[in-house]
Amino acid sequence: MTDQTDRYAVIGNPVAHSKSPEIHARFAAQTQQSLIYERLLAPLDGFAAAVRRFIQEGGRGANVTVPFKLEAHALATVLTERAQAAGAANTLRFDGNAILGDNTDGIGLVTDIVRNAGVPVQGKRVLLLGAGGAARGVILPLLSENPLSLTIANRNHAKAVQLVQEFSAQHKNVHADDFTALHEPFDIIINATSASLAAEVPPLSPSVFGNDTLAYDMMYGKEPTVFMRFAMQHGSMARDGLGMLVEQAAESFLLWRNVRPDTAAVFAQLRAAL
């Protein structure tokens, strides 16, 4: 049933839009790894069954996308610390009967900010917008960089408070604030809300954007997002989430293949093709 070539897939619903097959094919070519990476559309009520079938057919690992990241977390028999903290898994590795669940989204974001944008998180005042799955997934990797403070602001303030409570026992420098309470400039502002999808900007005072602020939107597109435009109008630098996409993929590839691909060329190719 299995042939010689290791198989990987991105599992989602929908999944046709996913750039992961293209990214991993480029990583494989660059690192001279022989593998197949495909798209797997799982029925909304059939994620676990789809994973088990894929394992039987020789699958060695998978990326997991909307709406299955929580189910992937539940299905894993072993979780990395960052997947536990995220409460979601975007990467699975199949090791015999074990399923390792990891979450590479947060480290992907941090790598894009620190290495690619050249902005250290250490010692900085960081503002995280949103309290959904995307926000939760990046909190531990951000805190691991030792920012001066991490402020979480969300439209539904109670959700931000709840999220902070999960981390504040171990990290004293994380707290929740209302959008209306934020006035001073932050060093780094990360938009982890889905507001950009609706072409909306979270209700932030322009004064939080300083001239040295990096405004980062986890969304990306051909054009700057509304959040990026808002930040740039108020004097800040802005960056979209394309680099995070490529870096999270590189971390998955590392987990599976034990080699970290070079992301710069792949990033440039994806950017040019948007």
Task: Report in angstroms how near the CB of residue 159 gets to ligand ATR at its nearest.
Answer: 5
Taking the C-alpha atoms of residue 256 and residue 27, their distance in angstroms, rounded to an integer, is 12
- Name the residue nearer to ligand ATR (CB basis): 132 or 210: 132
| 219: nearest Cα among 187, 198, 192 | 192
Q: Under the criterion CB under 6 A, does residue 194 sit at the interface with ligand ATR?
A: yes
Q: Min. distance of Cβ 246 from ligand ATR in angstroms?
A: 19
Give yes or no for residue 159 binding ligand ATR (CB under 6 A): yes
202 binds ligand ATR (CB under 6 A): yes
Element (H, E) at 135: helix 133-143
Distance CA 209, CA 230 (A): 9
Question: Which residues ranging from 133 to 152 are in contact with ligand ATR (CB under 6 A)?
Answer: 133-135
| Among positions 154, 225, 236, 263, the unique one binding ligand ATR when judged by CB under 6 A | 154
Of all residues in the shown chain, the one whose CB is closest to ligand ATR is 132
Q: Closest separation between CB of residue 163 and ligand ATR, Å?
A: 9
Question: Which one of 155, 229, 260, 271 is in contact with ligand ATR (CB under 6 A)?
Answer: 155
- According to DSSP, the residues that pair with 6 across neighbouring strands are 35
By the rule CB under 6 A, 200 interacts with ligand ATR? yes
- Least distance from ligand ATR to the Cβ atom of residue 67, Å: 9
**Which structure tokens are listed for 12?**
């989602």
Separation between Cα atoms, residue 266 and residue 247, nearest integer Å: 10
Residue 47 · residue 68 · CB < 8 Å? yes
Task: Give 135 or 231: the residue with its C-beta nearer to ligand ATR.
Answer: 135
Compute how many residues bind ligand ATR; rule: CB under 6 A: 16
The reply on whether position 132 binds ligand ATR by CB under 6 A is: yes
| Cα–Cα dist 177/123, whole Å | 19
Q: How far is the CB of 12 from ligand ATR (least distance, A)?
A: 13
Tokens in use for 251? 């971390």
User: Of 234, 242, 192, 182, nearest to 213 (Cα)?
Assistant: 234
Cα gap 122→142, rounded to integer Å: 9
Positions touching ligand ATR (CB under 6 A) are 130-135, 154-156, 159, 193-195, 198, 200, 202
